[in-house]
Amino acid sequence: MAFGRKSYCCGQFAKYSLFISNFLIFLGGAIVFALGIWTLVDRNFVSELLGTNLFSGAVYVLIATSAVVCLLAFFGCMGAAKEVKCMLLTYFIITFLIFVIMLIGGILGYVFREKVALTMRQEMYSSIKLYGNRRTVTQAWDTTQERLKCCGVEDWHDWQRYGQIPESCCQETYGGQRKPCREAPSALSLYNNGCLDVASKFIRDHAALIGASAIIVAILLIFGMIFSCSLFRMIE
């Protein structure tokens, strides 16, 4: 295939613009993929306390889609280099579908971000009763309190209503040892912050970061569609 003489300059501009946009799309897809993996690993300890699978579902969708985006960017570069209309048309269709998925995934991340506090409050008060009786819940509470330096849902008094205060609520000394606080709990020996505010902020920050990244990639995909469509029309 070749360009007509009158459209040669415009065709070259569209061609190289498609190359550049696909390079940026590849970088964006790689970043979203890495952020998705990091989010799943980093927030895994608090998953039992979320009370919903919406966040995990959105992250899994974005991970899978971002991997496809990286492959698609390579496909778009090949279509531009070979100037094959069939490849450009296929690229445009797949890009549009991925654009919709990435946009939905980013929006779901922000929707979850606004609802996380409510769902976590309900799940935390339900799961605190199961502490010591269900291993996954016990580990989730201990790891959350140790990593985020918090105690209970609203504060450490929540544990007194349902039983003994866990050792993971005890503040650590400079030597890494925990202060003896279970027998004589006090505000000086226990973490003062409740886990609801700290954990929900922790999750909201992750959701905002990955949601914003997905939306940025979706915007880059728009440029990929524009340039691929322009190049498609210019090829004779």
Read off the pLDDT of residues 31-87 as tens digits, 9 standing for 90 and up. 888 888 887 776 666 666 765 566 667 677 778 888 888 888 887 777 667 766 777
Number of domains in the chain: 1
CB atoms within 10 A of CB 72: 23
Tell me what pLDDT residue 4 has: 46
- Whether 166 has a pLDDT exceeding 50, the answer reads yes
- Helix, strand, or coil here: 20? helix
Nearest to 90 by CA among 75, 77, 74: 75
Tell me what pLDDT residue 127 has: 83
pLDDT tens per residue across span 167-210: 888 876 555 555 556 555 565 678 888 888 888 887 777 777 77
Tell me what pLDDT residue 100 has: 84
Residue 99: which pLDDT band, with cuts at 50, 70 and 90?
Answer: confident
CB 80 within 8 A of CB 230: no
Calculate mean pLDDT across residues 10-26: 78
Domain range enclosing 90: 1-234
Tell me what pLDDT residue 145 has: 86
180 alpha carbon, distance to own chain's centre: 38
What mean pLDDT is reported for the chain?
A: 76
* Reported pTM: 0.66
Calculate mean pLDDT across residues 151-162: 84
- Helix, strand, or coil here: 190? strand
Amino acid identity, position 168: S
Amino acid identity, position 149: K
Distance CA 104, CA 106 (A): 5
Tell me what pLDDT residue 7 has: 55
52 torsion bin: left (phi>0), alpha (psi -120 to 50), beta (else): beta
